[in-house]
Amino acid sequence: MSVAAKVNRFTGSPALVGKLLGLVVLLGIPVLFPPSDVTTWTVYVAFAILAVSIDLVWGYTGLLTLGHAAFFGAGAYFAAKALPGYPGIPDVLVLFVLVPIFCGLLALAIGWFLFSANVTGSYFAITTLIVAIVFEQIAGEFVSFLGGFNGLYNIPNMEIVGFELETIPLYYFTLFLLIGFFLLSQWIVNSAFGRQLRGIRQDMERTALFGYNTELARLLVFTLSGAMAGIAGGMYATINNFVSPPLLGFVLSTQVVIWVAVGGRGTLTGAVLGAVLIQFLNSTLSEVLLNYWNIALAIIFILVVLVAPRGIVGLLEDATTKLRKRRGSGSGLANQSQVSGGKQND
């Protein structure tokens, strides 16, 4: 393939351009914002990992989870207890081995409990919502062990081979994790297993009739997603140095679902875009608009659900295909290459 063809393919793929643009913006955050804001952005990135984990379960597999913060918060609390409590264990081992094992097992247990009884659809949403409420209440009640409603303070920053990660390195480390999880998720959803997940979303019975074990597939993706949410939570604990019961709760769970819905469910770019954009707007616009911002966000969310279920990414995709069709009608050759580019996007 010639260089020109490669360039053509690149410009013919707006999705790729969009992703790279987003990556450049995220890489440039420490340059664009003062260090005090960088920690806030690190939190945004940690929550974006949670959004990706929710998108895997909801957007791709069609299981609306309203309780995913339970795993995020469990990871955060686990890190908050283990990091200062056992200084002998390396932080990396706690955050990237013990936390995902703990949260993955939690998700496995809850997932088995629900999937083995074939709890799906709205019942799945309501039962996961209740799981989050139960987790939040438990964390709020154990005052001596989990700090009760005041939460746990003074969680140390994470260390890698003796080096403590300060503001900017911590930001890039978290961003590196997000990119890693994004690529991992992209690989998963484009694999045969990912196709099976989408099959479950579209028609679970038919997928089962094709001979797939849908219960096992749902259990796998839920466990994986719970472990991912747990790692995001563990990172949050070291970024924020403080955890409290709302991290486990139902409000955070539904908030992140709203981010994913507005960004675009069923696309990983949409999950990250929604999470980062809405958190950024939350902090900038709530100062100006006060409570009216929350009202505006609720209306945007309702409108997205009603008329644009594929979110911002879906709207952008529609707009670019329309634009390309209009441009493509000019010359035959350009038309051909652009159509093939369009096919790759779908």
Compute how many other C-beta atoms are within 10 angstroms of the C-beta atom of residue 115: 19
CA-to-CA separations, 244 to 51, 115, 182, 278, in angstroms, rounded: 20, 30, 27, 22
Q: Would you give the DSSP letter of residue 330?
A: S
319 contributes a contact to another protein by CB under 8 A: no
109 counts as binding another protein under rule CB under 8 A: no
* CA–CA distance, 45 with 121 (Å, rounded to integer): 29
Q: Residue 294 interacts with another protein (CB under 8 A)?
A: yes
Q: Which stretch binds another protein (CB under 8 A): 101-109, 278-286, 297-305, 327-335?
A: 297-305
Close Cβ partners of 25 (under 8 Å, ≥ 6 residues apart):
none
Task: Return the structure tokens found at 303.
Answer: 């409108």
Q: Whole-number minimum distance, CB 313 to another protein, in Å?
A: 17
Strand pairing class (159-160; 163-164): antiparallel
Does 301 bind another protein (CB under 8 A)? Our answer is yes
Q: Are 270 and 55 in contact (CB under 8 A)?
A: yes
- Considering beta carbons, is residue 97 or 295 the nearer one to another protein? 295
Provide, rounded to whole angstroms, the least separation between the CB of residue 164 and another protein: 36
CA atoms of 70 and 106, how far apart (whole Å): 9
Among 59, 75, 140, 341, binds another protein (CB under 8 A): 140
User: Binder to another protein among 51, 125, 217, 278 (CB under 8 A)?
Assistant: 125
Q: Write the interaction track for another protein spanning residues 232-261; mark x where CB under 8 A is met and - where it is not.
A: ------------------xx--x--xx--x
CB of 305 vs another protein, minimal distance in Å: 4
Task: Quote the least distance from Cβ 198 to another protein, whole Å.
Answer: 16
- If binding is defined by CB under 8 A, does position 187 make contact with another protein? no
Distant-in-sequence contacts of 161-166, Cβ < 8 A, 24+ apart: 165/238
Q: 296 vs 289, 293, 303, CA distance in Å?
A: 9, 5, 11
Binding range to another protein, per CB under 8 A, among 88-96, 150-158, 181-189, 292-300: 292-300
Q: Identify which of residues 77 and 171 has a Cβ nearer to another protein in the complex.
A: 77
* Interaction between residue 32 and another protein (CB under 8 A): no
Q: Contact with another protein (CB under 8 A): which of 92, 117, 209, 319? A: 117
Q: Calculate the alpha carbon distances from 125 to 66, 68, 93, 104 in Å.
A: 5, 10, 33, 19
Q: Taking the complex as a whole, how short is the minimal distance between the CB of residue 333 and another protein, in angstroms? A: 42
Q: For the chain, what is the radius of gyration of the CA atoms?
A: 21
Q: Return residues touching another protein (CB under 8 A).
A: 64, 113-114, 117-119, 121-123, 125-127, 129-131, 133-134, 137-138, 140-141, 250-251, 254, 257-258, 261, 291-292, 294-295, 297-299, 301-302, 305-306, 309
